[in-house]
Structure 1
């Protein structure tokens, strides 16, 4: 059965419905942005009876309820009426036509530079009657209805009264749909022009009055998800409609301002959830849509438990879900019930991430992995600190990072991980039937790390790259110059970054490929002082320079301890043996990976990956 109707509507009827409030905008629609030239171009197209595209509307009165607002510049004497239809596509065109044709007040538009201006629109009748004259016939004038030149000192066209409009033979566009009063003034002040006016009325005004606007109307049964998808498909104006905006408009229909709840309100003097969360550096930038996804997981999980308790089976049992449709189905009651718990869970997420040695959002491998983590911690609360639960949660986290499983579309993984983590985290490891009763979450069972992946980890934006760097730091890596642990230096903001162990320039001089020396195997966290001293030198040279520097003053054994803290084979580094260094450090990094993931890496034949790169 079709969920929409397609027809043509008389333009005057559509504009009348807009001014009466029968047709309005859903609050998620962005503001009117068309400039003066766009408006004139639209008027010319209709005057020439050209198609200007279909509009799309949604019937109100169904289950989908949105906060609504009238089209810009439309006002009502009493309260805003309840609309019968909402504009999904065609806002810019209908707003332009309403302001120009149906309202007797200045059009609030923009100039070519985006500056706000007030304009009235007119048609130069004499020009419009010329062959091909319509392109130049439409003009706009300032709010005082006077066109001026010479830095606004000389008035070249004055249309500030009906008499002046008539004598200058310029027709106001606000009179296009009903010109009786203006025609009476024409009879009075310039009757000799009446025959020309009649030709103009037939050629131009009739085109507007008889214009049929193609319209598609979605029925009341249309779901929120469908509305969102349709809106994004038909709106080519730029930014896609976010789930948060759509849910905001839905909650607003119940008198709740989700935007204020999330972002806060300076006017009303309170901070929102986003502000409170961003006080934790790890949660800076945590998105409103992510927050809603956590709520959708908890809500759908509760529904699933209720269905199972009621004895339902198969398809009748609700699924745990973080999908868009589930988020869009959230009610205000759902939000108010779960939001405090989710916020509390996110604060625990920040603590968990600090224990993993992540201290700001920039270091985060996957923002999406925080969604199931927040859902879990909101439910187990302080139990996450229990050693057994913490170890399992850490293992799951690192399998997701190093297995690179949380990139792209991960709604299904997010939901599955929450559903599978909860029983696994709190189950009894002493149970002899543990492996049979409590299966590992699939992120753990599916995660794999190949030794050759180390050869291709070159981008600092890669999740596994970020993860390995943090694991090295977490193991207590100390800086070459400051001798303190990297964690301590990071807090002091001493220019810490990931730098080459064998310098780039030295590698190039030795003919080592960029794809090899740029691998994470040849990189480690180093503060700026040490990195500046390393320069282009061979490792044997820069190590000697560092050790004898008066502020460093380290013996070979002491420097070797620092190198070991970075999992760097010190003998090979001192011997400037890149190939043996690369092979040795690669093996050490694999050990870190295996320890974090709690499973063996998939090993290559020794040295094959490196030799292939070098000899290629």
Structure 2
């Protein structure tokens, strides 16, 4: 392998990229740079500061057959210009993000499709403030302007125009030259017009021309690999050089390594394209939403665990290697040592096991990715299915898999440093689970041994930030809870139809108004799965009130409502009496029981006199319920006036008029018979100038609420209602 170290001129590089003489090997990632990076890159060129080295590979070799593709926007530019692209003479191995940014910003339309700091997709053009470009380094930094693609900078929600450089005349007037004018040769005419309009700067014409010439002559150092470079060498070099900027992950590096596999090319006549293979996996993941956050690197770890286990088994059966077997590994960097042959053997089996993993979750009452305790635990779980095959569905085998799973979740063992646990579980769990079928002796896996759950942990589980919180929520759903208003089982179908989520049993507002202990009322002990509309209906009322109203409004038979409460592991007597202490003690004990059953081991009883012996140091009561979905309920604040005890319609209307004077958008509640029972205002703006926000319309109007915008005659509306 030979190489050269030329310093090609930037203008030539972008020209060759535009004609197709410089292209990318197809295994390269797509373009990802953001607006700030692009602007900083152009500042580097303006200042004449050095840029990082590019790496190019000369094409036409008998050794290398990488599929080429042009830089992004090159193909569409060629179509627009009605020209064909040339065959590539060089492939860009390192420097793709920089070269794509420079090509798009300096040529053609100059429009770059990029993202801002909020990851929002935007289209930008880049301009040079000529006066500032001649100033200090700080001035030169400010000289590069990123503006919307149409050249118009708008403010005040696009109502006002702050800057308009949408035409050459306006650009000259503002002193902002498009970078495209510099590199397409139009800058000379532009500068003449600029000098006529800004005579004070005419004397600096020589400086301006020198700056333009310096940018046009800007050189970028490069390493050019010759035709004798092998694919294996390219893959190795690619791995080594792609360490800066947007660092490649192991999936992207393995993409390059597999694309360089000579034996695959000799057999199939084309490179292996890992991205195409991943697309097959992605389709399966998208069909199972609970798995939708599994990443490419997770998938590779699954394959690696199986490949390395297979290597170890081969070593153990080989007398010459039996004493030094290779380890089972799930380490990310070890993925790069996996061969394409190993990948092709195990990847299809992993892909085929993913639907089973999804069903394992849904049958465990984990229905969405938001309530999946650990994404990482999907890695060994899917591996187990490959190793056990259909026997993973035998009752005795699956029960042990479930025990391992809940030990990992409730013991909170898959939050960090998971790679070692991946390997250990791959070696230990399948054999232990299978032994449940055969009756053979098998050591209990380390994860099951290590798992520990303390009773006091129930107090500190405050939000879905915790895997154990999500796990207990799933175990609650596994008890067969029924909706409190409609007596519907909250199974998989109802979960989505009724928009079930986890909510307070003693409502947040009630608890705060009655000065209950936040550590207890905001814990998972005081939460349960509820349908969205049921939770809204409960509002912030005392359980003593809402239980009576549930029974009255829903016409439940005697004892029927109490039975519904019991499906949620709630003591109906304590709930009806709004006895929080009695309720909490009983439900805490019920949750301990289901945790013990799931883990197959006792919970550590560390509570004394009803208080936890120790709360985690990280517990912050002010932030613990950041994700609490009760915050989304449009409750009525203190200004709410209960009209249910006022017999006279005239009195109700008078109160309505009084209340109306205090806010622009009162909400009025009606019973089923149309009688108004309350008036007030939600604690956030839920109505706009054109009506009720969509996310609240159904809940309020569907539950007997009507919103009256400013200007409506509330008295007339109440009479009409």
- Which residue of 2 is the match for residue 256 of structure 1? 272
1:245 to 243, 249, 252: 252
1:586 to 585, 588, 594: 588
- Which residue of 2 is the match for residue 595 of structure 1? 597
- Which residue of 2 is the match for residue 92 of structure 1? 98
Matches within 5 A, 1:366-381: 366-381=374-389
Q: 1:333 to 1:538 in 2, by over 3 A?
A: same
Pairwise CA distance, 1:478: 2.2
Q: 1:167 to 1:596 in 2, by over 3 A?
A: closer
- Which residue of 2 is the match for residue 609 of structure 1? 611
- Which residue of 1 is the match for residue 304 of structure 2? 296
Does residue 47 of structure 2 align to residue 31 of structure 1?
A: no
Native 8 Å contact 2:316 2:322 kept in 1:
no
Matched residues in 2 for 1:538 and 1:34: separation? 51
Matched residues in 2 for 1:167 and 1:412: separation? 64
Matched residues in 1 for 2:31 and 2:445: separation? 46
Matches within 5 A, 1:344-383: 344-383=352-391
Matched residues in 2 for 1:208 and 1:150: separation? 24
Native 8 Å contact 1:64 1:222 kept in 2:
no
Matched residues in 1 for 2:387 and 2:428: separation? 14
Give the alignment's TM-score, normalised by structure 2: 0.62
- Which residue of 2 is the match for residue 183 of structure 1? none
Matched residues in 1 for 2:187 and 2:475: separation? 81
Q: 1:273 to 1:428 in 2, by over 3 A?
A: closer
Native 8 Å contact 1:64 1:224 kept in 2:
no
- Which residue of 2 is the match for residue 268 of structure 1? none
Computed over aligned residues only, the root mean square deviation of the Cα atoms, in angstroms, reads: 5.1
1:481-522: CA deviation from partner (whole Å, max 9, x where unpaired): 222322277256123222212122222222113332110111
Does residue 249 of structure 2 align to residue 234 of structure 1?
A: no
Matched residues in 1 for 2:191 and 2:171: separation? 23
Q: 1:570 to 1:53 in 2, by over 3 A?
A: same
Native 8 Å contact 1:357 1:470 kept in 2:
yes
Matched residues in 1 for 2:456 and 2:235: separation? 46
Matches within 5 A, 1:38-57: 41-45=43-47, 50-55=48-53, 57=55
- Which residue of 2 is the match for residue 188 of structure 1? none
Pairwise CA distance, 1:349: 1.5
SS in 1 for 2:110: strand
Q: 1:122 to 1:170 in 2, by over 3 A?
A: farther
- Which residue of 2 is the match for residue 572 of structure 1? 574
Native 8 Å contact 1:372 1:417 kept in 2:
yes
Native 8 Å contact 1:502 1:538 kept in 2:
yes
Give the alignment's TM-score, normalised by structure 1: 0.71
Q: 1:207 to 1:313 in 2, by over 3 A?
A: same
Native 8 Å contact 1:478 1:566 kept in 2:
yes
Matched residues in 1 for 2:561 and 2:542: separation? 16
Unpaired segments ≥5 residues, structure 1: 101-105, 172-195, 264-271
Pairwise CA distance, 1:566: 1.6
Pairwise CA distance, 1:367: 1.5
Does residue 556 of structure 2 align to residue 553 of structure 1?
A: yes
Matches within 5 A, 1:42-81: 42-45=44-47, 50-55=48-53, 57=55, 69=69, 79-81=87-89
Matches within 5 A, 1:316-465: 316-427=324-435, 434=441, 438-465=442-469
Matched residues in 2 for 1:165 and 1:528: separation? 62
Native 8 Å contact 2:22 2:89 kept in 1:
no
- Choose 501-510 or 33-42, whichever is displaced more: 33-42
Matched residues in 1 for 2:607 and 2:431: separation? 39
Matched residues in 1 for 2:238 and 2:295: separation? 22
- Which residue of 2 is the match for residue 177 of structure 1? none
Pairwise CA distance, 1:222: 8.3
Matched residues in 1 for 2:129 and 2:613: separation? 77
Native 8 Å contact 1:533 1:546 kept in 2:
no
SS in 1 for 2:404: helix
SS in 1 for 2:483: coil
- Choose 592-601 or 90-99, whichever is displaced more: 90-99
SS in 2 for 1:554: coil
Pairwise CA distance, 1:262: 3.1
SS in 1 for 2:452: coil
SS in 1 for 2:608: coil
Does residue 313 of structure 2 align to residue 305 of structure 1?
A: yes
Q: 1:441 to 1:304 in 2, by over 3 A?
A: same
Unpaired segments ≥5 residues, structure 2: 79-83, 115-121, 150-166, 193-203, 261-269, 616-620, 622-721
- Which residue of 2 is the match for residue 466 of structure 1? 470
Pairwise CA distance, 1:99: 9.6
Q: 1:303 to 1:207 in 2, by over 3 A?
A: same
Native 8 Å contact 1:277 1:343 kept in 2:
no
1:299-325: CA deviation from partner (whole Å, max 9, x where unpaired): 111111111111355894222222222
SS in 1 for 2:374: coil
1:465-489: CA deviation from partner (whole Å, max 9, x where unpaired): 1111111221222222222322277
SS in 2 for 1:584: helix
Pairwise CA distance, 1:523: 0.9
Matched residues in 2 for 1:138 and 1:562: separation? 66
Matched residues in 1 for 2:501 and 2:207: separation? 76
Matched residues in 2 for 1:207 and 1:611: separation? 68
Q: 1:227 to 1:311 in 2, by over 3 A?
A: farther
Q: 1:570 to 1:421 in 2, by over 3 A?
A: same
Does residue 480 of structure 2 align to residue 476 of structure 1?
A: yes
Matched residues in 2 for 1:229 and 1:513: separation? 56
Native 8 Å contact 1:530 1:546 kept in 2:
no
Native 8 Å contact 1:476 1:486 kept in 2:
yes
Matched residues in 2 for 1:285 and 1:137: separation? 41
